[in-house]
Amino acid sequence: MGETVGMTLIAAILAYIVGLPLGTLLYVTGKKGLKPNRVLNFILGGIVNILRSIPCLILIIVLIPLTRATFGTATGKWFTMIIPLFFASFAYVARVVESSLNEVDQGVVEASRSMGASTFQIIAKVLYVEARPSLLLGVALTSISILGYTAFAYDFGAGGLIARAYSIYRSHPMTYLSRPELWVILLLIVIVVQVLQEAGLRLAKKLDKRKIAK
């Protein structure tokens, strides 16, 4: 559990450190953005689309030299999965952020601009505030996706709940369904996913200013 939470949490944080500003830049430079820039938007969008097209397992293999240079080893430890999980996730985060910002009412943005707000002020005090519910749901969905990616940790001896479940099957291919630990692990995974999803939904509802007052 500790390895799974560690891989998921650290990779998600790193993915948002890069993905949030990248997604914001994609929105800002888009056709309906605050500072449309066709060339820059095309380049950034191309990079994001390419990264999203590469399967996580391939990314892990390609990034082995970087992982080894960073941690001194590329296999056998849970933290060696952080770099590939980060690269597999930040492009997804960028698109989630861009989509969330596109949902903000353009009337609110134009009103802020007419009042003399700078681009940075509109982003920080209007876009992020108005898009908070959607952004929080994005965090939950991203974390769940990263949790699923940790399954590849088995191939590199990096540990985690999903890798442990697969190792039970490999060790007991004929009787794995009768092994109690397999069902315990499955229950733990379901609990983690439900907690992430429910936390995201509750926070999103709590911060949604579009709710109709009763």
Question: Per-10-residue mean pLDDT for the chain, 214 residues long?
Answer: 87 93 93 88 92 86 90 82 90 93 88 86 90 88 87 73 83 86 90 85 72 42
Whether 188 is covered by a domain: the verdict is yes
Domain count, the chain: 1
Q: Residue 98: its pLDDT value, please?
A: 93
Please state at what angle helix 161-171 crosses helix 180-207, rounded to 10 degrees.
160
CATH number of the domain residue 87 falls in = 1.10.3720.10
Query: Where do the H-state alpha helices sit in the chain?
Result: 2-28, 38-53, 56-62, 64-71, 82-102, 106-114, 119-122, 128-130, 132-149, 161-171, 180-207
Q: Residue 167: its pLDDT value, please?
A: 83
Whether 30 is covered by a domain: the verdict is yes
For residue 71, how many other CB atoms are within 10 A of its CB?
14
17: containing domain: 2-207
